[in-house]
Structure 1
Amino acid sequence: MPSEQPPPHSATVPPNFWGDMPEEEYYTSQGLRNAQSYFETPNGKIFTQSFIPIDLPIKATVYMTHGYGSDSGWLFQKICINFATWGYAVFAADLLGHGRSDGLRGYLGDMEKVAATSLSFFVSVRESETYKHLPAFLFGESMGGLATILMYFQSKPETWTGVMFSAPLFVMPENMKPSKVRLFMYGLLFGMADTWASLPDNRMVGKAIKDPEKLKIIAGNPRRYTGKPRVGTMRELARMCEFVQHNFHKVTVPFFVAHGTSDGITCPSGSKMLYEKASCEDKTLKLYEGMYHSLVQGEPDENANLVLGDMRAWIDEKVERYGPKCNGS
């Protein structure tokens, strides 16, 4: 798969969202250990990270997937870091076409393959001697929520203790959907236009972040994809949203889904639909009045802490309920 490198890092932008403090020093100050590596898959090499608490017993493992145009570092890792400080071993991977993973930047022409690629890394950790006895959770934010539910569908039964979603992309707002006429015209080019970055972007970042100072920080991510949406990406996201809507009933594990009512990127109706159609009885839907799309990285601290508190309460309760020997491990 072809690769495009992100633009050179600007000297005016600090190397990390917290500033110039060396990475190891920062992570140690947060009480955790960070490790970074590459994982080889049949679909290309993906960049992976782990966030492991230093002085806390590990309750469970959590496998996190970022949203469209983002990566597992920069501000997304704030979620990873929070979970690690609660006693969870957190693992994350840059999706194909994102961050430091292989692939054409911002291209998601086959979401099931993209999901399977990250899943191969997650399962390798989940089934390892170190962690196989612990409860294990999938976590997906935004478009990463769509990838996460696909990972769940692709997994063997009993693999996951539960799934968590933050503003998942299950239903696209009407103003975000690609024009059917435009997609039809591109389709007449017999796939040649699939990778073209030529669809309107509708200022997605501005619709996702409520706090203006945090918007500046997110915009400074040197690995963020800033090009226009690619034809094949938007076509595939629309197709996969429809697919998962017809398969929500297959969700049988406990899940937590959070959504802001003023989300301009993904529709809260998708989270409601999952809650209503999922077959499991142990399910939680949290709707946050007036909050935007990025519930942890983009809201004022008071709002973000409210969401994080609800996430912590949910996962702590599930670990206590299902115990370290869950899923027959």
Structure 2
Amino acid sequence: MQPPSPSPPPFYWGETPEDEYYKSQNVRNSKSYFQTPNAKIFTQSWLPLNQPIKATVFMTHGYTSDTSWCFQKICIEYAKWGYAVFAADLLGHGRSDGLHGYIGDMDKAAATSLFYFLDVRRSEEYRTLPAFLLGESMGGLITMLMYFQSDPGTWSGLIFLSPVFVTPEAVTPSKLHLTMYGLLYGLADTWAVMPDFRMGTKVIRDIEKLKILIANPKRYAGKPRVGTMREVVRVTSYLQQNFEKVKVPFFAAHGTSDGLACHSGSEMLYEKAETAKEYKCLKLYEGMYHSLINGEPDEAADLVLADMKAWIDDIIQVV
């Protein structure tokens, strides 16, 4: 008889209670629900302790993820650097409203998180500080939509980690499948029947970190839903045709061996954006996979974090 599998730890860092862990990182965390016109979403903040706040950073996680597991490692790092960080679980993810794993309207999902971000951005406490949007993976798609939905001058810059701007052919949803399901007059939009590609090759390089990511109790583990994949196809096409509308400073990081999002998407953004050349930064990391912070060996992830810190510390001096 096989012994029972050990229970996963309560937090991605292990057993240490949250308050104790955040204090050890010189960060203060808070959690709350926020009512938007579209839905109620779960939000978190990570603020630096014992140092002045340099700027605000509003972060969006990727598909199947949420703000309460490994994604918050990125949030905590920025807070340790002196930035006030705010994030929300996307619709259909984590503790926010919506069918788990379903984003049938990415414009709506972007507008919902943006409603919360702007509430903080315009508050008395933060309105005079530089403000940045950050998106990882599919969160990069949604972050770009937020930027396009915002008034000019709202954001000081954009930060992208492995953004899904172009998908490899092997993981691009089949047009035949989408057309067939589309013929069912929307009945199939929420069906979890699309081919599952998330944990395939060249997404997570460090196997021990893969085990931690999978242990996330709020992770969506089902097959991709039809409407979510339809929106990925639609929005990637839309963004590729509108990159020239990007005019603010940005930082884009991408692994050259990313099996989920082509680094050509980040290169396309760099080439087409109207941002002044000295204010746009593209970092390509040779041999790295899709998850640059939570899926790579520590020394590789630390390199990406160091580049991110250097860029934002420099850019806040000029925005």
Q: 1:201 — aligned with what? A: 196
Q: CA deviation at 1:73?
A: 1.5
Q: 1:307 — aligned with what? A: 304
Distance in 1, matches of 2:288 and 2:237, equals 25
Q: 1:247 — aligned with what? A: 242
CA contact (8 A) 1:68 1:144 kept: yes
14-23 vs 251-260, greater mean Cα deviation: 14-23
204-213 vs 189-198, greater mean Cα deviation: 204-213
Distance in 2, matches of 1:206 and 1:108, equals 24
Residue of structure 1 aligned with 2:105, choices 110, 116, 133: 110
Q: CA deviation at 1:202?
A: 2.4
Residue 214 of structure 1 aligns to a residue in which SS? helix
Distance in 2, matches of 1:293 and 1:11, equals 28
CA contact (8 A) 1:204 1:265 kept: no
Deviations 1:106-151 (A, max 9, x none): 1111000000000000010010000001000000000000000000
CA contact (8 A) 1:206 1:215 kept: no
Distance in 1, matches of 2:229 and 2:202, equals 18
Q: CA deviation at 1:205?
A: 5.7
Q: Which has the higher contact order (CA 8 A, sep 6+)?
A: 1
Identity of aligned residues (%): 66
* TM-score, length of structure 1 as denominator length: 0.93
Q: 1:217 — aligned with what? A: 212
* TM-score, length of structure 2 as denominator length: 0.96
Q: CA deviation at 1:21?
A: 1.1
Q: 1:235 — aligned with what? A: 230
Distance in 2, matches of 1:62 and 1:23, equals 21
CA contact (8 A) 1:209 1:294 kept: yes
Distance in 1, matches of 2:161 and 2:16, equals 29
Q: 1:125 — aligned with what? A: 120
CA contact (8 A) 1:106 1:230 kept: yes
Report how many residues are paired.
313
2:139 equivalent to 1:141:
no
Residue of structure 1 aligned with 2:291, choices 289, 294, 305: 294
Amino acid at match of 1:235: R
Q: CA deviation at 1:321?
A: 2.0
Distance in 2, matches of 1:196 and 1:187, equals 11
**Runs of 5+ unmatched residues, structure 2:** none
Q: CA deviation at 1:206?
A: 5.2
2:176 equivalent to 1:181:
yes
Amino acid at match of 1:308: L
Residue 265 of structure 2 aligns to a residue in which SS? helix
Amino acid at match of 1:249: E
Deviations 1:290-314 (A, max 9, x none): 0000001110011000000000000
RMSD: 1.1
Amino acid at match of 2:104: G
Structure 1's consecutive aligned runs of 4 or more residues displaced over 6 angstroms after TM superposition are none
Amino acid at match of 1:284: C
CA contact (8 A) 1:254 1:283 kept: yes
Task: Return closer, same or farther for 1:203/1:144 CA change in 2, 3 Å cut-off.
Answer: closer
